[in-house]
Amino acid sequence: MSVPHKVGTVKSKQATNVNTQPKAPVAKVVKAAGKKKDEEEATDTAEGEEWMPGKTLVKPSDQLDLTEEELNEEITRVLTANNPNAPQNVVRYGFKEGCYKPIIFVDQMAIHFELEGNLVHKESDEGRRLMAKQAERDDGKGAEKLDNVAKAGDKERKLTNQFNFNERASQTLNNPPRDISCQTEPPPRANFSATANQWEIYDFYVEELKRREKSKEKQEGQVLNKEEDKSKKKMIQAETQSDDITQLAHAAKIIERMVNQNIFDEVAQDFMYFEDAADEFRGEKGTLLPLWKLQYDKAKGLSVTALCWNPKYSDLFAVGLGSYEFTQEERGMLLFYTLKNSSYPEFIFNTTSGVMCVDIHAQLSYLVAVGLHDGCVAVYNLKKKSDQPIYNSTASSGKHRGAVMQVKWQKDDLDSNHNFISVSTDGRVVSWTLVKHELVFTDIIKLPATDKVPDDLKDVIATAGTSLDFHKQKDYHFLVATEAGKIHKGSKYYSSKFLETYDAHFMTVSRVRWNPFHPNVFISCGWDWMVKIWDQTIKSPIFTFELKTSVTDVAWAPYSSTIFAAITNDGKVHVFDLSINKYEALCQQKVVSKKTRLLHIEFNPVNPIIIVGDDRGHVISLKLSPNLRKKPKEKKGQELPKGPEVEIAKMEQLLSSLR
């Protein structure tokens, strides 16, 4: 039932204006009375003395005036759990990348209160046990109450809450320490006292030096027989090495090799076991896998002028260091490296003149013949600890007047004397024989002068020899390459003139080599960008390959009669297999930087690797992929023929197709 409200007026005492406003009704609600009573009381209150003024809406002066549409517009605000005070520029150090990295995800949780407690939920199993134990202490009826509680727990068992955390603590008893003691007899002691002054120390060193000199004189002066004096030789060596610190050198060398093999373990594993499986998808092409890079710090500024593998130890090779700059004579070095220790040479020999060529004796692998830039030839003995050669040519003993470009060991003569042959830029081919303590020379032949030289100067101006190689079956036949581009075939037993002359190249012939299998085939390369393969019965080449830059060296593979490798001035290694492709290389790979020139290459006689030397004194070893050393596949029930006859037949078949 609605109740009418009266409207009153109020006069302001301070102003003459009369303000009339409708007043809001004020009603008192009484729960005990009825609706009529409520209405009457409300009417009385409105008319009575307890009149209250109505609420007035006060509008601020800077309030915006909004339209009805703007007032009805809904504005949505999304509350997120992100912490506004969390840092956004946190960085941490990443050990994998080696630098500081910004943290993308920042913890947004802010903990306002944290309290660790040890409360146990009363409905849990442990809570029931604790309550049972407490009841047992209080009433003394622990056994009966425990059974009742256990039964009640079995009936009212609830699923455990995995979020309940119980903190437990326990303390164990430590075993008591025990002391065990024993008594031993003291070691025997002796008192020793002496005075040492400067003179006594000096006298002791003098006596020690005299003793060592006497032992060396005995060892060098006595000529011991192989069978009779073995025991004496061992006694002398035992005396000299008993107190010498150098006896630790062998053990230290073994340890050094073990450390290096551990450091370069991945390279050693690749050398032994890695076979490039990608060759199956390359067709005929192959690749070279870089292995070790050998360098010696004291050889900076020198070029690799010679490479030679040891015929007895397949991991040992010699490196000759010198220079091809003939305007100035520089120092040289002869180094011996082993693949078991690539960080440091096994043997080091310093020479006053640059080393130009090296050859190791086939049977006595400790004898090394060396040709030098000043025209001397020398023989080193690896068994001697001395840095000096055991044989050295002099001006009186017929040394060359130009740089010695090639030396080759020969079989012993009829008197069982070792000998080797050399060729030099003075045009002489000389045989050197090791007789007692001196080198005896014999001129075999002199290279003829070119046609451009006048007749009266042909005896004065010689043609420089650049390379020399002996026939593998007929060891008295040899080939000599010259600066004039010709290759001469000669014989040690016929010194009046050469047997044959081939117009091989337009420029200097840098290398000539006989094929290790076929008796009639040899290969040559020169500065005219050409690699040519020859049959000695024909004066024109049977194969010619142009490599677009100067070819510095070429070598036959020891395992195949049709595979050879060549190196060029632009740092590339070219590997050919004539039985697979007669027109282009199976592999062309750059192995050094742009400004580095390759000078020499050699195949390992046993393992499928090659070594190349550059003009910075570095030697790089490379492993041939399977496509570069292919062998014919075996058929079921048939064994493949092996031996040099197979390689000779393979080359002969190739030659017959071209004749």
Q: Which residues contact 114 (CB under 8 A, 6 or more apart)?
A: none
Give the pLDDT of residue 6: 40
C-alpha 589/C-alpha 331 separation (Å) is 32
Long-range contacts of range 500-505, CB-CB < 8 Å, 24 or more positions apart?
Answer: 500/536, 500/539, 502/534, 502/539, 503/539, 504/532, 504/534, 504/541, 505/530, 505/532
C-alpha 375/C-alpha 401 separation (Å) is 5
Enumerate the H helices of 371-446 as residue ranges.
none
> What are the counts of helices (DSSP H) followed by strands (DSSP E) for the chain?
9, 32
In the numeric block, which tokens belong to residue 173? 């008893």
> What does the buried/exposed string (b/e) look like for 621-647 if buried means 16 or more CB atoms within 10 Å of the residue's CB?
bbbbbbbbbbeeeeeeeeeeeeeeeeb
157: left (phi over 0), alpha (psi -120 to 50) or beta: beta
C-alpha 429/C-alpha 433 separation (Å) is 14
Q: Give me the count of residues in the chain.
A: 659
C-alpha 370/C-alpha 407 separation (Å) is 7
Integer-rounded Cα Rg, in Å, for the chain is 51
Give the pLDDT of residue 200: 84
Give the pLDDT of residue 11: 39
Q: Which amino acid, one-letter code, is at 22?
A: P
Query: Which of these, 372, 405, 377, 569, lies nearest to 482 by C-alpha position?
Result: 405
Sign of the C-alpha dihedral computed for residues 347, 353, 359 and 361 taken in this order: negative
pTM: 0.62
367, burial (CB in 10 Å: exposed 0-12, middle 13-18, buried 19+):
buried
Task: Specify the residue for token string 């000695």.
Answer: 536
Query: Which of these, 393, 392, 423, 420, lies nearest to 408 by C-alpha position?
Result: 420
C-alpha 91/C-alpha 472 separation (Å) is 71
Cα dist from 80 to 76, 89, 288, 622, whole Å: 13, 20, 62, 64
Tell me the average confidence (pLDDT) per consecutive run of 10 residues in the chain, 659 residues long. Answer: 40 38 38 46 47 71 85 86 83 88 83 84 88 83 57 57 69 83 86 82 87 80 56 58 62 84 87 85 88 90 92 92 78 91 90 92 92 92 87 84 91 88 91 88 86 69 88 90 91 85 91 92 92 91 92 93 92 92 90 89 92 92 88 60 82 84
